[in-house]
């Protein structure tokens, strides 16, 4: 079942201007160390940050809060699998909100996709609740 969906569009040039103006103050307020390392080693630094900015906005929308109600930028972070697939992680208030949204007997799965076409970066987040598989003797699992 779908618990939430969010999307956001970020202007890469606006993110570049913000990086130029505020530098580390902006980076450290919004992005985790993992996100900063990933962004800073990319050829398109601002585009990489813009995609992560959009992902955080989209995630906050999927959580049903937007960036209010105690959610912090760093409560949501994007990393990548070896395949390049982006993965959203939530901590703090965002993780608490996700737990409250998730029905008993289910686990929450956050799907995220990122794209960019200069000057735009876009992210979409879908939060899914999947039933937790019972592995007890009644279900045929176990020894």
Any idea where the domains of the chain sit in the sequence? Answer: 2-133
Q: What is the pLDDT of residue 70?
A: 66
Whether the pLDDT of residue 54 is over 50: the answer is: yes
Global pTM reads 0.89
Q: Which fold has domain 2-133?
A: Ribosomal Protein L22; Chain A (3.90.470)
Cα atoms found within 13 Å of the Cα of residue 66, Cβ hemisphere only: 1
Q: What is the pLDDT of residue 141?
A: 46
State how far the Cα of 76 lies from the Cα of 32, in Å rounded to an integer: 9
Chain segment 78-114, per-residue pLDDT in tens: 999 999 999 999 999 999 999 999 999 999 999 999 9
State how far the Cα of 55 lies from the Cα of 75, in Å rounded to an integer: 12
């Amino acid at each position: 079942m779908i618990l939430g969906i969010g999307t956001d569009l970020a202007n890469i040039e606006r993110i570049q201007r913000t990086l130029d103006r505020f530098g580390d103050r902006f980076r450290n307020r919004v992005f985790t160390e993992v996100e900063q390392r990933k962004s800073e080693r990319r050829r398109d630094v601002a585009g990489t940050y813009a995609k992560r900015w959009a992902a955080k906005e989209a995630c906050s929308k999927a959580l049903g809060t937007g960036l209010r109600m105690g959610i912090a930028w760093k409560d949501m972070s994007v990393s990548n699998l070896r395949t390049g697939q982006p993965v959203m992680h939530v901590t703090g208030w965002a993780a608490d909100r996700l737990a409250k949204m998730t029905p008993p007997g289910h686990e929450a799965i956050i799907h995220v996709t990122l794209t960019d076409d200069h000057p735009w970066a876009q992210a979409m987040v879908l939060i899914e609740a999947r039933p937790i598989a019972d592995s007890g003797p009644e279900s045929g699992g176990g020894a």
